[in-house]
Amino acid sequence: MNIILLGPPGAGKGTQAAMLVDERNMVQLSTGDMLRAARTSGTEMGKMVAGVMDRGELVTDEIVIGLIREQLETATADGGFIFDGFPRTLAQADALNDLLDSEGQTLDAVIEMRVDDAALVSRITGRYTCANCGAGYHDTAKKPAKEGVCDKCGGTEFNRRADDNEESLKTRLMAYYKDTSPLIGYYYAKGQLQSIDGLAPIDQVKASIAGAMD
């Protein structure tokens, strides 16, 4: 299956996508990850990405679609693809539809993870990751079993994103509501949208996503 996970920053999309990758053999297509990988790949597309980013310009929709096309044509995804961070706008949604059609693929589900803004503030300002392996934690919701030690790799150094603060969050939420939230109506009109409670416990959210997919 090919799916989109929709939701504002901190909704838990990354956590759920990682579980889908592990358990369903899906491939997560993260716009940020693809751009970083392309920049150092040495390919023609990579050189184009590097040039744009080095000049401080915004990466165009055409470049992102090109990167996604490369992944659709080369990545082994027995379980399908998870689109993460794309589409962000209605124009990008149309472009993704055209791309999937041209590759003989379909978009099978769009899952909106609904959350409350006040809860997002608490969720985002409290999150941090292991500096060694990237495992995610939270001050209250997901502490390591042993304080100061990563459950996954045993690392003892942790990082917090510089923009994981209330002021930055408000800016990111404004961008989401302005550009991305119209996608909810777009996919609802197409009969593809399914909404779930993104504030439920992680396992319950996981079960809701499985229900939406199956």
The secondary structure of 43-108 as a DSSP string is SHHHHHHHHHHHTTPPPPHHHHHHHHHHHHHH---TT-EEEES---SHHHHHHHHHHHHHTT----
The position carrying tokens 């500096």 is 131
The identity of residue 117, as a single letter, is: D
Res 105: pLDDT? 93
What global pTM score does this model have? 0.78
The identity of residue 37, as a single letter, is: A
Distance, in Å, from the CA atom of 124 to the CA atom of 166, rounded to the nearest integer, reads 8
Catalytic positions, please?
13, 88, 127, 161, 172
Q: What is the mean pLDDT, run by run of 10 residues, along the chain of 214 residues?
A: 90 90 93 85 86 85 90 87 90 94 94 87 86 91 94 95 82 84 93 93 94 92
Res 45: pLDDT? 84
Q: How far is CA 137 from CA 51, 61, 131, 154, 192, in A?
A: 35, 32, 11, 13, 32
Q: Is 187 exposed, middle or buried (0-12, 13-18, 19+ CB in 10 A)?
A: buried
